[in-house]
Chains A and B, each alone.
Chain A
Amino acid sequence: QQPVQSPQAVILREGEDAVINCSSSKALYSVHWYRQKHGEAPVFLMILLKGGEQKGHEKISASFNEKKQQSSLYLTASQLSYSGTYFCGTEASYDKVIFGPGTSLSVIP
């Protein structure tokens, strides 16, 4: 079953922060986050395994609440290069990553 993402779209000015949420109705093994720029392949950002861990990569971090089956992606001090569509992928069945509808993020000067 497809995860739910919110918001659908967000526009930020450079330097502002954003949070993208992903939730599932099923118990999850893991949550993946990817970013796709127009006309390009999705690029891996991070994986969170069940256990409620939090991960970070420079100014992008994420958390996974195993009890609520929710994950959030945090983008701080956004840069123009952060623009793109962000997808969460949830793994409720072994080896089957199902992607959400995506969140379109636009960072403007």
Chain B
Amino acid sequence: ETGVTQTPRHLVMGMTNKKSLKCEQHLGHNAMYWYKQSAKKPLELMFVYSLEERVENNSVPSRFSPECPNSSHLFLHLHTLQPEDSALYLCASSQDRGPVYNSPLHFGNGTRLTVT
């Protein structure tokens, strides 16, 4: 098993659909993150969870709803998305959060989302 696993790898959904992205980390890390990567744009931080508690919501529209049931799993629930939400959604984890812990981010391979 790789360190951070994301499913599905590809997802096509209509604007009225509801779907969920799943992320699982096998590294024993305490913090998990969702990033969005659009074409020709930098990685955008969406959400941060530490020990299953959401500690950051980076002004993300409510049509994106995260869930972290335990420190190994992270979900991103999607509903009534717009075509501009099409992007690569990356999950990451780190041992701890904050600069004093010197914790690098370990990324999954991402879910390529297309909204039609």
List the interface of chain A (C-beta within 8 A of B). Answer: 2, 29-30, 32, 34, 40-44, 47, 49-50, 87, 89, 91, 94-102
The total of chain B residues at the interface (CB under 8 A) is: 26
* B21 CB to nearest A CB, Å: 14
The CA-CA distance from A42 to B31 in the complex, in Å, is 17
The answer to whether A49 touches B109 (Cβ under 8 A) is no
Query: What mask results when residues 100 to 113 of chain B are scored 1 for a CB within 8 Å of chain A, else 0?
Result: 10101111111000
Give every chain A residue within 8 A of B4 (Cβ-Cβ).
41
Can you name 6 A-B pairs with beta carbons within 8 Å?
Answer: A41-B108, A42-B43, A42-B90, A96-B48, A96-B58, A101-B42
The answer to whether A87 touches B43 (Cβ under 8 A) is yes
Given contacts A41-B107, A41-B110, A87-B42, contact A94 B98 (CB under 8 A): yes
The CA-CA distance from A98 to B29 in the complex, in Å, is 20
